[in-house]
Structure 1
């Protein structure tokens, strides 16, 4: 399935909320309320995107658009159909957008330490592990460590040629 990114609208929020509340996804993301997503849609420091194929297949939230450091965070990515390469394609599209359109110097994200599959995905796309934030968030099963991964603009340029 070919995918693209499009801005999230309020009409998409039922899909977004259902996606992040799906039991398969809840281990990896802290669900937001509808109001939090509505606020995010209006926040000029954020971009809220739908991953769109022939139907919505996920969503992405970018943060730090106004960063004087030109450092943009992939705050959230949730894909509904696992194992089909949609997450890989969505991250590649987003990475291109961040460096080519938003002119970022640094693109970064945090992944839960137990989520080895996602860590491997980011690393396979050129992201570098920069460190770990030990016990920085409390989940349903206790404190969780986050792995910090990032790509710099010169590294992106080497990848895309």
Structure 2
């Protein structure tokens, strides 16, 4: 299923066959430092959960996979979607920006979300820059909320409201 085509990317619903691509992308050293990689089993459970949606981000026009998105909250009575994860394999090519434009369009026009939110590690400066560029507002910081080895990491909570999208 193709959602839409915008600029240089399009989305399609992820399938079980895509989980190896997703797991490899998560475990790549340049990505793993910014996320907490999941096991294939956790992805399989999430993929079958009606509250969660996986998209594979494909480059236009060759349909090659350049990343993935995981959204949660599709069953939320509060019309609040959580961008659980976005990982881009070809960094610096504009795919992240294009994927965010398409994601915002899908969330606010197709799903009628009122709020799109995410958390991001406070040291992930590249992602924070992109999120701000895409109109997300910093709501607050969860200090030392993730244990990573012997250290703790903090998360920023950021969101975009429908009224800010319009």
TM-score interval for Structure 1 and Structure 2 normalised by the shorter chain: over 0.9
CA shift digits 1:34-81 (9 cap, x unpaired): 111111111000001101113111110000111111110000000001
Match of 2:134 in 1: 125
Match of 2:74 among 65, 74, 78: 65
Tell me the number of residue pairs that the alignment of Structure 1 and Structure 2 aligns: 157
- Following the alignment from structure 1 to structure 2, what is the Cα–Cα distance between the partners of residues 139 and 101? 37
- What is the distance in 2 between the residues matched to 1:148 and 1:12? 28
Q: For residue 141 of structure 1, report the CA deviation from its aligned partner.
A: 5.4
Structure 1 runs not aligned, ≥5 long: none
Residue correspondence of structure 1 range 21-100 to structure 2 within 5 A: 21-53=27-59, 54=62, 55-100=64-109
TM-score normalized by the length of structure 1? 0.94
In structure 2, the residue matched to 1:10 is 16
Calculate the aligned-residue CA RMSD, in Å.
Answer: 1.1
Structure with bigger helix share is 1
The answer for unaligned runs of 5 or more in structure 2 is 1-6
Structure 1 residue matching 2:21: 3-state secondary structure: helix
